[in-house]
Structure 1
Amino acid sequence: MHRLSNTVIGFLNLFTLLASIPIIGAGLYMAKDSTTCENFLQTPLLVVGFIVLIISLAGFIGACFHVAWALWVYLVVMLLLIIVLMVITVFGFVVTSQGGGTQIPGRVYREYHLQDYSPWLRARVKDPKYWNNIRGCIFGSKTCAKVATWTPVDYLRNDMTPVQSGCCKPPTSCTYGQDPVMMVQDPDCYKWSNDPNLLCYECDSCKAGVLESIRRDWHKLSVLNVVMLILLIGVYSIGCCAFQNTRRAETDYPYGHNRMTKVRPRWDFYW
């Protein structure tokens, strides 16, 4: 039974080793693609893929071939990964705790305001370098083309995604004539244009809609991170047992205090 942990760790790391191959492949494929949206994901995918590959390879070799130093590297990197994942999870819950949008009377969809989100997210989306990439991504995805043919009745009955609500129409505080007329002091009313290439892509409401989409996805990811942390801590505990078994096999220490030194290792040492 004391070798069961080695077997479990070996199978788990073989599975993650195989799983890292399509992750790296997806990152390399996106690196060759010029689409802005996919370029956002290529670096995280490559980093995660190579980290999983290295950790899994070290854990598999250490557990199956009784290589103590490989298991030691595996456990150290796994511990660092758990700590980093904890920090990211806590940070994710903090930055996604604000926002959610405002319900508009008589409408199904919500509207979003930039000041409702965390300062860190606002600072990121206000950076022209990042916003130009995001804007190009939204424009290339044809998100606003899906609501371009809506009638006024459709706006009353249909729901919208946060990006559609913020980027594809002016705020509700602006009324419609030939051009939107500002009813309250909302700067977005000046930024709105009927030009399909402009619309409200430079509005704060558009940036808020993007942040709302990020907030929702990040919140889901944070919940998933909690589950991953529980699994990683369990695997780390099994890995510690496997490391002790490997050290015991290398030094050939039997259980108990009265130890005997053997001339040759046990028959199953290299099995």
Structure 2
Amino acid sequence: MYRFSNTVIGFLNLFSLLASIPIIGAGLYMAKDSTTCENFLQTPLLVVGFIILIISLAGFIGACFHVAWALWVYLVVMMLLIIGLMIITVFGFIVTSQGGGAQVPGRIYKEFHLQDYSPWLKDRVKDPKYWIKIRGCIMGSKTCAKVATWTPLDYLRNDMTPVQSGCCKPPTSCTYGQANTMMDQDPDCYKWSNDPNMLCYECDSCKAGVLESIRRDWHKLSVLNVCMLILLIGIYSIGCCAFQNTRRAETDYPYGHNRMTKVRPRWDFYWWRWWRDKREQLW
């Protein structure tokens, strides 16, 4: 039972070390791609992949080769990762607590309004540089092409994604071709165009639809983050036991996997003994 925690940490970090390789590979592949949608995920994938690689390597070396300083680095970085993940999770729940859309009478789909979302998300999506990239992503994904062939009956019985509802059609309340009605309508009614390259891509409803998609994905990610936090805390607890075992092996205690065994000394036994003798001479 003494070496059980070291073995578990070693295997867990070996698996995570191997898992970080395809993550980094995906990030590098996206770095070569010019499409905007994939570039959004490029930096997070690379950062996450390299962090997992470093943590896993330190934990694997520390647990399997009884290197105390490597396990110490592993535990410190793991603690920072847990704290950072907690902050991101709480922040995600706060900024995505608003929104959700409004049901359109007689329709299955919902419509979304920009003022319903958190100020942080609204400021982000109103940034022209950021919105140009999102707009290019939507146009490149051919999202609105699926709605272009719909009949009026399809609008009554089919559901839409938030992006389709906000970007591919004008607000349902808009009434075109009628006198003295345009002045009282939603401002997005003026921004709508039949041009496939225009549509309602500059409408606030389109930005709200994008935020709703982000909100839904962020909710799913937050739930996953909670599960990851529980797993990381469990691994961190096992890592603390492995660190204590490694430190115990470096002491003169009469129990544990001690480097003083004559049958199979540890790999750093002779170096450690030389350093101890030198230190005693200096003191």
- Considering the TM-score relative to the shorter chain, is it more than 0.5? yes
Is the contact made by 1:96 and 1:118 (CA closer than 8 Å) also made in structure 2?
yes
Give the superposition deviation at 1:103. Answer: 0.2
Deviations 1:75-133 (A, max 9, x none): 00000000000000000000111000000000000000000000000000000010000
Deviations 1:147-173 (A, max 9, x none): 001011110010000000000000011
Give the superposition deviation at 1:244. Answer: 0.5
Could you say what the CA RMSD is over the residues aligned between the two structures, in angstroms? Answer: 3.6
Larger Rg: 2
Deviations 1:64-84 (A, max 9, x none): 000000000000000000000
Identity of aligned residues (%): 90
Give the superposition deviation at 1:263. Answer: 11
Give the superposition deviation at 1:182. Answer: 3.0
Q: Helix, strand or coil for the counterpart of 1:216?
A: helix
Shift in alpha-carbon separation, 1:103–1:259, aligned structure 2, 3 A = closer
Which runs of 5 or more structure 2 residues have no equivalent in the other structure? 271-282
Distance in 2 between residues matched to 1:87 and 1:197, nearest whole Å: 39
Give the superposition deviation at 1:178. Answer: 9.8
Q: Helix, strand or coil for the counterpart of 1:183?
A: helix
Give the superposition deviation at 1:251. Answer: 1.9
Distance in 2 between residues matched to 1:28 and 1:267, nearest whole Å: 37
Is the contact made by 1:13 and 1:60 (CA closer than 8 Å) also made in structure 2?
yes
Give the superposition deviation at 1:257. Answer: 17
Deviates more, 1:223-232 or 1:254-263: 254-263
Give the superposition deviation at 1:259. Answer: 14
Q: Helix, strand or coil for the counterpart of 2:148?
A: coil
Is the contact made by 1:181 and 1:189 (CA closer than 8 Å) also made in structure 2?
no
- 1:28 is matched with 28
Distance in 2 between residues matched to 1:200 and 1:162, nearest whole Å: 13
Distance in 1 between residues matched to 2:121 and 2:138, nearest whole Å: 18
Distance in 1 between residues matched to 2:253 and 2:40, nearest whole Å: 52
Is the contact made by 2:5 and 2:241 (CA closer than 8 Å) also made in structure 1?
yes
Size of the alignment, in residue pairs?
Answer: 271
Deviates more, 1:219-228 or 1:168-177: 168-177
Is the contact made by 1:174 and 1:180 (CA closer than 8 Å) also made in structure 2?
no
Give the superposition deviation at 1:177. Answer: 3.9
Shift in alpha-carbon separation, 1:183–1:158, aligned structure 2, 3 A = farther
Normalization by structure 2: what TM-score?
Answer: 0.89
Do structure 1's residue 263 and structure 2's residue 266 form an aligned pair? no
Distance in 2 between residues matched to 1:266 and 1:110, nearest whole Å: 66
Alignment of 1:1-271 (within 5 A): 1-177=1-177, 182=182, 184-255=184-255, 265=265
Deviations 1:153-202 (A, max 9, x none): 11001000000000000001102449996373411011100000000000
Shift in alpha-carbon separation, 1:232–1:200, aligned structure 2, 3 A = same
Give the superposition deviation at 1:264. Answer: 8.6
Give the superposition deviation at 1:53. Answer: 0.1
Is the contact made by 1:173 and 1:184 (CA closer than 8 Å) also made in structure 2?
no
Is the contact made by 2:173 and 2:185 (CA closer than 8 Å) also made in structure 1?
no
Shift in alpha-carbon separation, 1:71–1:212, aligned structure 2, 3 A = same
Give the superposition deviation at 1:269. Answer: 8.7
Is the contact made by 2:6 and 2:63 (CA closer than 8 Å) also made in structure 1?
yes
Give the superposition deviation at 1:252. Answer: 3.9
Shift in alpha-carbon separation, 1:64–1:258, aligned structure 2, 3 A = closer
Deviates more, 1:250-259 or 1:154-163: 250-259
Normalization by structure 1: what TM-score?
Answer: 0.93
Is the contact made by 2:10 and 2:63 (CA closer than 8 Å) also made in structure 1?
yes
Distance in 1 between residues matched to 2:200 and 2:94, nearest whole Å: 29
Which runs of 5 or more structure 1 residues have no equivalent in the other structure? none
Distance in 2 between residues matched to 1:84 and 1:190, nearest whole Å: 44
Distance in 2 between residues matched to 1:157 and 1:63, nearest whole Å: 59
Is the contact made by 1:107 and 1:156 (CA closer than 8 Å) also made in structure 2?
yes
Distance in 2 between residues matched to 1:106 and 1:75, nearest whole Å: 56
Is the contact made by 1:89 and 1:226 (CA closer than 8 Å) also made in structure 2?
yes
Shift in alpha-carbon separation, 1:179–1:209, aligned structure 2, 3 A = farther
